[in-house]
Structure formats: C-alpha cells, structure tokens
Amino acid sequence: METITLPYWIFILLVVFAAVMVLDRILLPGARWYLKRRVNRVIEEINTRLDIEIRPFQFTRRQALIDQLVFDEKVIDAIKIYAEEKKMPHAVAQEKARKYAAEIIPAFNAYIYFRVGYWLAKKMARLVYRVRVGFYDNDKISESDSNSSVVFVMNHRSNMDYVLVSFLAAEKTTLSYAVGEWARIWPLQTLIKAMGAFFVRRNSGNALYRKVLERYVNMSTRAGVCQAVFLEGGLTRDGALREPRLGFIDYMLRDYHPHNDRDIVFIPVGINYDRVIEDRSLIRRLDKTAKKRSGWFVIKTTIAFIFKNASLSRKNRWRRFGYASVNFGEPVSAREYCEVNQIDFSSLDKEDRFVRVESLAKTIMKNIEQVVPIVPNALMSEIFLNNREAWKSALELKAECCERISQLEKSGAPIDISSSAVESVLGAAMDVLIGRGLIEEENNLYRMKESELDIINYYANSIVHWRVNIDA
C-alpha cells in the first residue's frame, strides 16, 4: 500500500472545494427549503386575516420584474430617445434603464414584513406615542372591492408616518411606499426594500429615469398592489397642508381604462402628532439664510436626543410625546369618478390630463383635510397664538380650549377628546409646551415665548383649515 503525499496547499484547496460543494449541494438547498416553507406558512396564515390579500405581483422574482420593466414597450421607446439625445450606444442607454429599474423595484419579503417590520413598527410607535386611530369613512372602506388597487393617500408631517401607518394598516393589507434617497444607506435600504418600499429620486429631471419610474408605478397599480402615497410630495415645513403634487396620481391614471382595468380606490388618511420629532429641523428649512448643518452635526444631535430620552426611561421619567393620531376618510373610486365626470384619462393629451388629474388630486386633498386629527397640542398652540401678548391663567386657557372644541365638534371636525378627560388631556398638553420651553410662566399666568413663535405656529397650522372654515 503506497502513501500519497500532497502539498499542504493542495490539501487545503481540496478541503475548501469539498466544503463549498457540501454547502452548495446539501446545506443551502435545505436551508432554502426550510425558509421557503416557513415563509409560505406565514403567507397562508396572513392571507386568511388580511382584507386585501398579498398580490402575486409581490411574489414574482425580482429579476423577472426588472426584465419586464426594461423591456416594456414605452421604456424601450424612451431608451431610444435617450440614446439619440445623449449620443450614446443603445446598449449603454439600456443598461442605464436596467440600473434604474434595479434601484426602484423592491424585494418584498412577507416574512420580514410581518415578523420583523410589523413588530418593529408596533414597538416604536407605541414607545414614542399614544396611538389613536379613527374612521370617518361612513363604512365605505369595508364596502370597497377587495380586488381593486387600493392607494392610501396621506398628508406628510413626519418620517414617523411610514412607521405609524404601516403598523396600523398591517391587519388589513401590506403597503408599498415610495421613499426618498435618505433611506438608501446600508443596512437600512435592504430592510426597506424587503418591506416592499421602492426608492425614488425626488425632482429628477432625467427623462429615462422618470419613464422607468412611471412604468413601474403603472405596472404595480394594474397588478393590484396596495400603495401609500404622500400627496404633498414631501414633509410640511410650516405645519400647514401643502398643495398636492400630481406625479404619482398621474402615473397611475395616464393609462387607466375605467371599463376594463380594475378599480383604483384612493383612501384619504389624515395624520397628526402632539409632537413631531423633527419639528425644529423642518422649521429651520424655512429660513433661507440658515447655514446647512453638517452630517456630523445631524448624527451628533440625533445620538444626544436618543441618549437623553433613554436616560429618562431608566430614571422612570420617560413620557411619550403625546398622541399620534391617524384617521381614515371616505374613499374615492377612480372608476366612479371617471363615470360621473365622463373622463377617460388614457385618451386625454398631457395638458388636459394634468388639468383633470389636478381636479381629482384636490378632491382627495380636501378629503384628507377633513380627517386630519385635532390633537391637544395643536389646540393649545392655537389658543396661545390667539393670546400672543396676553398673560392667561391655566383655567382661562382651558376654558378657551373647551369653547374651541365645542365649535369644532359642531363643524364636524375629527376630534376625539371626551368631556370626562378634557381637563387632564389639556393639562398634559400644557405641561408638554412648558416642558419644551415654548411657554413662559409668571405668578401662575402663562403666555407663549415670542422667540418660539415659529414652533407654536407649526402646530397650530396643522388645524388652520378648520379656523378658516369656521370664520367663513
């Protein structure tokens, strides 16, 4: 019997090769089978309780969706035009389109969405706020066709909106968000894509990119994927509702055929907070002379904010930031809207179509306006603003607040403060404003600090449309 001697490097190479083969042929297939089995079990369980089932489109292999998007007829036409304008080979332009498609299309994972994302959203929302939800839809949401494409259309007050609405809607459906480039950081972008969100380059002037984005939104809408859209296009900076942006609504409707395609149901969602975490940063953006803060300053400030509140929690002094309220309004059916107004968006030229889309967007925005929750801090901020120069006792301020609540209730405003709890709720709102240094006190009398006018205005503006309605 002869002994064969091998050099160490060959032996190590053989061992590594054998390990790779075992991993590739035995362990990985087994792990994939196990994970797929668990995911399928989660999907079966979830689909039995969801009002709107997860669509087959969301389970389609991502690479297949990328190919479908790149070889879409309208994308191909856009590639040709782009290549001619930029004087580049067609293959290079097509590769750019493929890159845009890969950037946009999510990698939805039901297991991560419901077992990780939902748990995180629920814990985070309840840790920071007292969450309240209301329905002002006259039972029309439950009457909507479950086979329709549902689009939750919301106002945008905070980046917590993503977390809050995902948590509240998780018992009904999965949501696909459009998120800005702020979320394209590792490992956050991996989690966000797995949650079904897709990245959007805001205000991009690239015609090819816009066409790829348009066709993806159109493709997912036609497939019935439930989506969430911030109609204002970005965060409000002064607290008031902004004018609607038409881009996403137009993408959904420009090839919509009301008699043949599934219905698109727009559900208005109003969101409001007693305290918006990033309020001062948003207000600062209104100041054109303010210098842009460095990335290091933002990171340092964020860490200090988290550390401060974490230390309060350890000392049992942690208080949540008041109420975070979400109200769902009466849905708007695209099919019914087209029938009533005798519109076929797909047959209109660009100029006429945008006029019609703007009219629909303003209708939806009006519905959102009607369901933006009236939260205690907004009420109290409005009262302090009305008494800007005057010193008032706590009793006088609360009395004015109660009178304002009565006016709002008569006007049909979405306010949910019971008469038995109004004293404690308004007292807590005052404590928050005093604790943040927005109100000054002297001999048990109170008034707003003039230096904090912008922040008081920010919260009062969240319900300013009701002030206008009552005055009218």
SS3 content of the chain, % helix, strand, coil (to 5): 55, 10, 30
Residue 379's nearest CA partner among 412, 402, 395 is 402
DSSP H/E element including 134 = strand 130-136
Q: Where do the domains of the chain lie? A: 1-48, 102-277+321-371, 289-319, 376-471
* ∠ CA 304-306-307, rounded to 5°: 65
Q: Which two tokens stand for residue 186?
A: 């590792």
407 close to 468: Cβ distance less than 8 angstroms: no
Residue 155's nearest CA partner among 377, 286, 328 is 328
The CATH classification number of 102-277+321-371 equals 3.40.1130.10
251 close to 229: Cβ distance less than 8 angstroms: no
Q: Which two tokens stand for residue 118?
A: 């939902």
Neighbouring C-beta atoms of residue 10, cutoff 10 Å: 9
pTM above 0.85, yes or no: no
Q: Running along the chain, 472 residues long, what does each successive block of 10 average in pLDDT?
A: 68 77 67 59 60 80 92 95 93 94 87 80 86 86 84 91 81 79 66 80 86 93 90 90 92 91 93 91 76 55 54 49 90 94 91 94 94 94 91 93 91 85 88 89 92 94 79 52
Provide the pLDDT for residue 193: 78
Residue 166 to residue 228: CA distance in whole angstroms: 9
DSSP H/E element including 422 = helix 422-435
Q: Which two tokens stand for residue 48?
A: 């039995």
The CATH class, in words, for 376-471 is mainly alpha
Q: What is the 3-state secondary structure (H, E, C) of 139-168?
A: CHHHHCCCCCEEEEEECCCCCHHHHHHHHH
Residue 269's nearest CA partner among 159, 177, 143, 367 is 367
- Under DSSP, is residue 133 helix (H, G, I), strand (E, B) or coil? strand
Neighbouring C-beta atoms of residue 335, cutoff 10 Å: 18
Judging by beta carbons within 10 Å of its beta carbon (0-12, 13-18, 19+), is residue 338 exposed, middle or buried? buried
Neighbouring C-beta atoms of residue 376, cutoff 10 Å: 24
